[in-house]
Amino acid sequence: MAGKDVPVSPLAPKRQPKVPPIPGVRFATAEAGIRYKGRQDVWFALLDQGTQVAGVFTRSKCPSAPVDWCRENLSQGSARAVVVNSGNANAFTGLKGRDAVKLTAEIAAKAAGCKPEEVFIASTGVIGEPLDATKFKGVLDECAKRAADGPWIDAAKAIMTTDTFPKALTRKAKIDGKEVVIAGIAKGAGMIAPDMATMLSFVFTDAPIAAPVLQALLSKGVKGSFNAVTVDSDTSTSDTLMLFATGKAAARGVPAITEVNDIRLSGFKRALNSILLELAHLVCKDGEGARKFVEVRVTGAASARSAKRVALSIANSPLVKTALAGEDANWGRVVMAVGKAGEPADRDKLDIGFGDIVVAKQGARAPSYDEVAVSEYMKGDNIVITADLGLGRGKATVWTCDLTKAYVEINGDYRS
């Protein structure tokens, strides 16, 4: 269904936030005809010299050529350009895929005036189709000439595939009492599961933070955000999340941060984690065919790790997700998902709730169970499922969406 008109998700934000410029970052979008016609499908960002970079990528054993390229060049810690295309993932394309990435980097490097290894690349779209990188010739040169510091919404639109709305956010933070700004964009709607990352996302800041510190912040921050959302349990070959720091805030007196335990980082950490979490939520709210945003809270597990596995078992269950789509509080399916997780559980200690309504208590239907009340609750756009295992102190929260007929239609027609 890529490239076809689809209704905007009912869970989309009512308005798009105004994202300010990030000093040291300029970009432009263009129509390269990678797959789509009549829409922008390439985003080219230029980064000032000295920009530091960090990244996390899919753990799929079948990664895309762009993921391999980024991993190889990440260790140098610096970046000067980013190229992202939609419509073709350049995954499972063999030597042709690697050659296409290399040519893309060379074209971008020439346009940006940097080395190819300072160019980071991401692709999203159909798997298994060779990417014709010659389509970037001239396009990236032209983008470089008209690159500007906004609008960020254009960048978010250019990287969309089956997304129904662009995802762009901003946060402000203070380091040693002086303000820095953070901006981020993301794309993702299907093939979304928590195995880092779970889509494409690019976050930028003007804070002067060294690459090793950025990497530590990103690797930790992703655990409770992008690694805690799932749309369909499928991890993409192309998952990429990158964080760039231009350091331009140093000119305003913001001190350079070179140690991850620097106490002056506390405000920045909170802001970064906040933007990562909201971007992850937006991806989940744009889940293909989604009509409900669902939070799954598991408590009382034997450990935090065990709680996470149980929560994901619930969130990924097709039976749970279709019940949600049908607005049916079928708590028996939650019991099933807890039981199949392979984690410690005791039927006679298990409590289950929908929102504030307890539906099952200690292995049986709750005495206070009210079918009318819970049915009314299930009609809402935002649903909370709780499961207390009664075994220990482990807890975890993950987010998902319902599974509707539209998901089948979108993916059944994806290559059409």
**SS3 annotation, the chain:** CCCCCCCCCCCCCCCCCCCCCCCCEEEEEECCCCCCCCCCCEEEEEECCCCEEEEEECCCCCCCHHHHHHHHHHCCCECCEEEEEEEECCCCCHHHHHHHHHHHHHHHHHHHCCCHHHEEEEEEEECCCCCCHHHHCCHHHHHHHHCECCCHHHHHHHCCCCCCCCEEEEEEEEECCEEEEEEEEEECCCCCCCCCCCCEEEEEECCCECHHHHHHHHHHHCCCCHHHECCCCCCCCCCEEEEEECCHHHHHCCCCECCCCCHHHHHHHHHHHHHHHHHHHHHHHCCCCCCCEEEEEEEEECCHHHHHHHHHHHHHCHHHHHHHHCCCCCHHHHHHHHHHCCCCCCHHHCEEEECCEEEEECCEECCCCCHHHHHHHCCCCEEEEEEECCCCCEEEEEEEECCCHHHHHHHHCCCC
pLDDT at 212: 98
How much is the pLDDT for 4? 52
411 is in an annotated binding site: yes
User: Is residue 3 scored above 50 in pLDDT?
Assistant: no
Whether residue 416 is annotated as binding a ligand: the answer is: yes
pLDDT band at 5 (very low <50, low <70, confident <90, very high): low
Q: What is the pLDDT of residue 195?
A: 55
Looking at residue 174, what is its pLDDT? 98
Average model confidence (pLDDT) across the chain: 93
Which comes out higher in pLDDT, residue 209 or 237? Answer: 209
pLDDT over 90 (residue 332) = yes
Known binding residue 187? Answer is yes
Give pLDDT, residue 188.
81
246 marked among binding-site residues? no
pLDDT tens-digit readout, 30-55: 999 998 888 899 999 999 999 999 99
**Domains of the chain, start order:** 25-285 (3.60.70.12), 293-412 (3.10.20.340)
pLDDT at 1 over 50: no
Report, as residue numbers or ranges, the catalytic residues. 198
pTM of this prediction exceeds 0.85? yes
Nearest to 86 by CA among 62, 55, 138, 122: 122
Q: Known binder of ligand: residue 198? A: yes
For residue 330, pLDDT beyond 60: yes
